[in-house]
Each structure stands twice: as C-alpha cells, then as structure tokens.
Amino acid sequence: MNSTISQSGSATRSVSRLYVDTGGATGTALAASSMGPTREDLWRDAIDCMLRWSGNPSIFSPIDQPDPAVLESAIDLAFDLWDPEKNRPVTMRWAAPTSIVPSGDGRIAFEWNAGTDTIIIEIVGQGAATATVFHAGKVMEHGPLRRDPLTRKIEMALKS
Amino acid sequence: MTALPEPTPSDNSSIYRRFPADWWHSSRTKKPLPQRVFRPRPWQNEDKPGDTDGLSISRAWISSAKTASTCPFTSRQLSLASISTKTLVELALTIKPDPTEHDDGHALIPELNSLLGREPDYQLWIEETAIALRNAATIILEAIPQAMR
C-alpha cells in the first residue's frame, strides 16, 4: 500500500478534522480563530521556535538535543504544511500542531490532536519521518514518510 | 549504621515525568500533553540504543517537584507532568527504583524499554500505552520560555 494520509481509510477521518478552513466556513474554525492566535500566528511561532533551537542547541540536554539535519527537515516540513503562499486548496492546509517537542536522540515530533484522534509525525533523520495515526488510543496506521528527491518535500505517504 | 528504610507510596501517590515544552500551545489552550513525553526513546542502532532500561520517572513520595523538573545535565527547569501510581497499576506497569546523585526518587518503568520495543507488536503497545499515560497525566509545572508566553 502506498496511500496518502489524507486519502486512506481511518487516517482520512483523523486528518480531515485537522485541516483549518481559513475561508471561515466551519464553526469550529471560526470559534478557534476568535479565541486565540490564528493558524498563521501558530505556524510562525512554531518555526521561530525551531529556529531558536537551531541557534541555541545547548538549551537541551544531550539526550533531547535535536540533530541539526533533523531540525532543518522539521522546519522544511513545517513550511510545507503551513503553506504560507497558499498554493494548496483550503481543505489541504494543515492546522498548526498542538505541540512540537524534541523526542530524544536528535528527533523532533509534531503532534496534532482533535477529539480522540491523534497524529504524530516524527522527524527521524534528514528528510525522513514516521507517521503514527491514533484513534481512541489505538494505533490505526504507522509507517515511514520520505522526502521526494524532486520536490524536496517530505511526502505525506504511508508505506506499509 | 543501618540505612533508613525507603519511604513507601500510599494509595494516592504519584510519579513525575519531566519534559521540554518549548513549543506547545497547550500552554495557552489546555490541549493534551505530547504523547512523546511518555514514549521511551526507541532503539535505532548500537550507538543510539534508546531507553534500554525503561522510561525515567521520579517518585513523588521521595522527590520534590523542583528536583524532578530540573534537568541534571543543563540545570534548566523543564515542565513536569504527574500520574497516579494507581494508573500505572491499571496499565500493568511497574516502578523500579533507580536513585541517582541528582534525584533520590529517580526510578524507571521497565516495561517501557527500547529493547523490547524493537518488536513491532511491542512497539505498538508502547505507543498506545504512552497515549494512555498522557491522557491520564496532569500538568503540574509549565516551564515555557518567556518569548513563548
């Protein structure tokens, strides 16, 4: 199987809830945007934070310190998911993650939460990541993601 | 001289888990803790074996929140989550004392280790157990850099 997260089985349910409709169509998106920072603010904050990590890695213990190549890939992925140029259709734009944390041994994990759904994309090396999709505490999908050598983007494709 | 016996947990005891939360907008919106806080570092290779002995925690009946939240390598204060020992029992997890120079209450959850995690089925069990732990956790200290507040 080689299907995109947004087009495959259980993951479709999870991921579709995580898109942010910046066109203002859904009540949830409107409620979220009126209560706090916008999607753009959050993505910008996230990228700024990773740039700070990049410039000051010693704030982390040796165990938590992100690998420079991993950090570079994580920033690339964040820009790709953020899509500030709005190249993708509205329904294909990702909300900013709930969290971005160093996940040990140089890795970085992005996590999205929506109800009982959780998606984690963990950058594990230069241009390499894994995705895990949970529903109600159970793993629904788990697999590697790879950087496309032509587009340089980490493809949102689960290969199992 | 005989050493004093180690304090024992009561029914409502808890454990601490320290984590870096530099970009976590839960601090603003009270969304869930990152699942990765409770997943042991996985096995990658001989040079990066991960958490082979289990997940590091502190026993709240021995450690203070200040000690448990302070990184022994950088002396930086990190965020701290708490989970009841009852939850660990319900998840069939155990606590193995592992006192260190920095923290007398340091311990390990040996079931959450990277060696067994090399098995795909066990890896999935670890992922799901980490979700269960984070769902049961309470944040007792948030150490967010000033710029993110």
B48-96 tens-digit pLDDT: 899 999 999 999 999 999 999 999 988 888 989 999 999 999 999 999 9
Secondary structure (3-state) at B82: strand
Are A99 and B26 within 8 A, CB to CB?
yes
Query: Cβ of A29 under 8 Å from any chain B Cβ?
Result: no
Among B23, B53, B103, B123, the residue to mutate for chain A (most A Cβ within 10 A): B23
**Residue B30 pLDDT more than 70?**
no
pLDDT digits (tens, 9 = 90+) for A77-115: 999 889 888 887 877 788 999 889 999 889 999 999 988
Nearest chain A residue to B35 by CA distance is: A111
B-chain residues near A98 (CB < 8 A): 24-26, 31-32, 34
* pLDDT: which is higher, A127 or B28: A127
Tokens read off for A11: 């993951």
Taking CB atoms and an 8 Å cut-off, how many pairs form between chains A and B? 100
pLDDT at B145 over 90: no
Whole-angstrom distance, CA of residue A150 vs CA of residue B25: 33
Residue range A22-52, pLDDT digits in tens:
322 333 333 344 567 888 888 999 999 999 9
For the entire predicted model, the pTM comes to 0.82
Check if A122 contacts B (Cβ < 8 Å).
Answer: yes
* Cα–Cα separations (whole angstroms), residue A25 to A7, A28, A85, A141: 22, 9, 20, 29
Q: Do B148 and B20 contact (CB within 8 A), yes or no? A: no
- Rounded average pLDDT over B110-131: 94
The partner residue sitting opposite A105, judged by closest CB among B26, B44, B145, is B44
Average pLDDT over residues A129-154: 84
Around Cβ A38, how many Cβ atoms within 10 Å?
A: 14
Share of chain B above pLDDT 90, in %: 64
Instruction: Kindly list the residues from chain B whose CB atom is less than 8 angstroms away from the CB atom of residue A134.
Output: 35, 127-128, 131
Q: Which residues pair with A146 in a beta bridge?
A: A128
CB contact at 8 A, B68 and B78 = no
Q: Across all residues in chain B, what is the average pLDDT?
A: 88
Q: Is A101–B34 a contact, with Cβ atoms under 8 angstroms apart? A: yes
- Give me the residue from B73, B128, B135 closest to A139, CB to CB: B128
Q: Where is average pLDDT lowest: A36-45, A49-58, B23-32, B117-126?
A: B23-32
The verdict on A113 touching B (C-beta cutoff 8 Å) is yes
Tracing tokens 């710029």 back to the chain, one arrives at B147
ipTM, 2 dp: 0.85
Comparing A142 with B146, the larger pLDDT belongs to A142
Q: Tell me how far apart the alpha carbons of residues B40 and B53 are, in angstroms, rounded to a whole number.
A: 9
Residue with tokens 């949102």: A156
Q: What is the pLDDT, as a whole number, of residue B10?
A: 74
